[in-house]
Every structure is written in C-alpha cells, then in structure tokens.
Amino acid sequence: MATRIAYAVILLLNSIISWLMLTPWAMKKLEHLTLDYMAITCQGKQCYGYVAVQRVNYALGLFHFCLAFLLLGVKSSKDGRAALQNGYWGPKVLVWLAFVVLTFFIPETFFQVWGQYFALLGAMAFVLLGLILLVDLAHTWAEYCLDKIENYDSPGWRTLLIGSTLGMYTASFAMIIIMYIFFARSGCSMNQSAITIDLLVLLLISAISVHPTVQEYNPQAGLAQSAMVAIYCTYLTMSAVSMEPDDRHCNPLIRARGTRTASIVIGAIVTMLTIAYTTTRAATQGIALGSSAGNAYSKLSNDEELEHGLVDQQPASSRREMRAEALRAAVEAGSLPANALDDDSDSDYGDADDGRGGKDDERGGTQYNYSLFHVIFALATCWVATLLTQNIDYDSNVDFAPVGRTYWASWVKIVSAWVCYAIYTWSLVAPVVMPGRFGN
C-alpha cells in the first residue's frame, strides 16, 4: 500500500508542476534558466507552456516505461528485481528529476508531435481503461453483496444493497434535475442534448438489466450495477456542463464565482487528486485487466480450485487459522516451546518476515502486475498532459490556467459517459449473444 501511495504522490507532484508550467511566472523562469534556449527553439511565447507541460509529463512517462521494462516477469518478492518496485526511493526520485531536466535538451518539435499524436492516444487509452474498471467495479460490488446475502442470509447486506441502489438512483435523478434547471436554458443545445441522452440511456440500461432474457443468462445482473454506472455517468455529464466555457452563457457557475483564482486552484488540485487515485486503483486491478499476477495466495493446492477454474481464497485463510490454533494449543500443552509461534512464518502463503520487521505478503505471488502498474501510470501522464494543453488560453489575465475548462474536456467527459454506458450494456447482453463463452 505504501508503494502505491508513493507512486501516486509522485504523479500528483508531477501533475501540479506541469500545471504551474502554464503560469507566466514559470514561462519567464524557464526562459531565464535555459539561457534563452527556449526563445530560440520556440516560435513565439505561446510555445513555452505547452512544450514545458509535455516535457515534464514525458519525463515521468519515460520513468515508468523504464521501470515497466525492468520489472517484466517479476512474480514475487523473492525476485531480486522486486526491490526496484518497493525500494530505492531516493535513487528513483533522482532519476525522475534527471529525466525532467534532460527533456529540456530535446528540441521542441519532438514534443509538438508527441503531444498532438502519441500523448493524445495514450490519454484516450487511459480514459477507456478507467471506464472498463468502473463497469467491473459495479459488477464486483453487486455480486459481492449478493454472495453475502445468499450464503449468510444477512439482512444487513440486503439493506446495504437496496439502500445503496436507491441512493445512487436518487442522486442521479437529482443531478439531472439540477442540470436541467441551471445548465439547459434556451440556446444551450449542447447541454440539453447531453443531459437528455444521459437520462434516456440511464432508463434504458435499467430496463435491460432486469429484462427476463438478461436475467436468464446472468441472474446476478440487476439494478445495483445499473445504479452505480448511472451515477458515475451522470456525474461525468454534470462535470462536463459545469466546466465548459461560458462564452454562450450556459455555465452560471463561472459567473457566480467571486474569487476566480482560488476556484481555479481548488479545481485543479481536486482534478489532480482524482487522476492520482484513479491511476493507482486501475494499476492494481489485475483481475479486471487480465493480469497474470495474482495475489499472495494464488499458489494453492489443486483441491482448492473450483469447477469454473477460479481459485477460492477462503480455504487458505481457514487453514492458516486452524494451524495457528493448533500451534497455540500445542504450546499451552507444553509439547512445543513458546517461540514456535514466532517461528511460524507461513512462508507457503507469503507471510514470511521480509527482513525489515514486517511481513512479506508477496512471497508467494505479487499482489498486482508490476509492469502493467507502470504502463498505466505512463498512460496517466499522457492524460494529464493532454488535459492541460488542450485549447490553452494565453490571453487570459488570470495567474493560473483553469484545468479542464474547455469544450474539448467537456466533450471528452460526455463521450466517456456514453462509452461507459455502452460497455456496461455489452456486459449485460454479451452472455445472451455469446452464451458459449460465458458457460451457458
């Protein structure tokens, strides 16, 4: 967990530095520090901020790609290369900063091409990945609750599932009503269309999820998953209309803000925190991404495999508890010395001491795919660079550039909501269309 947080903090710092590169103060400092090199290579001052953002994010992306290559094939912490993932933080930070400095010696024409094509493709891949994980989370949450209800007949889990479903639907419709009142006035055709489509598709996926045919092929499908997808996609739509420019007088929030700089700063930091969290979560969801790296308990005996080929982790946990109880009973009976409990490293299941006073939970297998982890972080740098450099307003008088307040960013969120709806709909109808691939 500490490792994942550390990489997320680095991404957050890198994103904030990138954002600061768009300020007039940073542009002047860059020109001074590079001895007017950028003034020679750039055709006009507008180029400073754009290229500087691309340089900083390219440096971190290159850093993660190098780690992804070096960590290929690492399956457990017993591999010597695993220390590159979880340690050597001082040298890694120095390498990251060195990459940032070295990128300023690369001609700006390279970053113009990189930003217009390669970074844009990476940003699209990152957004798509996040949508796939959201749909996977919706199914996982609902199936987990249903499993608790069926196996333990728990009224608490039943209440939680029903309550969360109703709550998310209520919040979704509340956001739609708010959007219609404040952002869908006369002349705002873009907002009217986006809000109406969101409402219609929300009702459509809800109907599909409880359709008898869908229920026949996937009994666990239902309104719980639809509610989670609905509230997320409605949030995306609301975020899009509330962050669009106000040139058509369709965004009253911008006109209502008294402290423009403070609102921009808070919005930028919240955006960066969201990206860092999303990236960390996406990078560790090996199951949803088809990762071959399991968790520390993936190497169980063959008798613990289920008929559908998955591995049930509960028997391993039960067996560890039974062994611990047996050891305690033997110590109390005097047949084993007291230090036998300390010597029980449970190395077969990855709980052996890591040599630093803690327990190594990746001795039997990594918790996530290290290489895939860094590839996703590299894609996140592409998204940050693209978000910051689309339609930069150099004529603005504010000290800080607003993050995401462009029609491009708004349309990305609107289209992302539509794509998320499409992915979820396909997850519902796929077992009906291709029953052979889903065990029916």
pLDDT in tens, the chain (440 residues): 788 888 888 888 888 888 887 776 666 666 666 655 554 444 444 455 778 888 899 999 999 999 999 988 888 777 788 888 888 899 999 999 999 889 888 887 888 888 888 888 888 888 888 788 778 878 888 888 888 888 877 788 888 889 989 999 999 999 999 999 888 888 888 889 999 999 999 999 999 999 999 888 888 888 888 998 998 899 889 888 887 776 677 877 665 554 445 555 655 566 666 666 667 666 666 444 444 444 433 333 334 333 343 444 444 445 556 666 666 666 666 666 655 555 554 444 444 455 454 555 666 667 778 888 888 889 888 888 887 777 555 445 455 555 556 777 788 889 989 999 999 999 899 888 888 776 65
- Residue 178: partners with Cβ closer than 8 Å, 6 or more residues away: 238
Assigned domain for 357 exists = no
How confident is the model at residue 298, as a pLDDT?
Answer: 39
Total domains in the fold of the chain: 1
Asked, for residue 92, whether it belongs to a domain, the answer is yes
In a domain, 430, yes or no: yes
Residue 360 in domain: no
321 domain residue, yes or no: no
Residue 45 has what pLDDT? 46
Give the rounded distance of the alpha carbon of 246 from its chain centre.
29
| Distance (Å, whole) CA 26 – CA 32 | 10
Structure confidence at residue 8 (pLDDT): 84
Domain contains 302? no
pTM: 0.68
For residue 122, the SS3 value is: helix
Q: Is residue 352 part of a domain?
A: no
How many angstroms separate the CA atoms of 427 and 217, rounded?
11
DSSP 369-402: -HHHHHHHHHHHHHHHHHHHHTT--TT--SSSPP
Which residue range forms the structural domain that includes residue 221?
Answer: 2-296+371-438
Residue 404 lies in a domain: yes
Residue 127 tokens, joined: 């957004």
The three-state DSSP-derived secondary structure of 280-326 is HHHHCCCCCCCCCCCCCCCCCCHHHECCCCCECCHHHHHHHHHHHHH
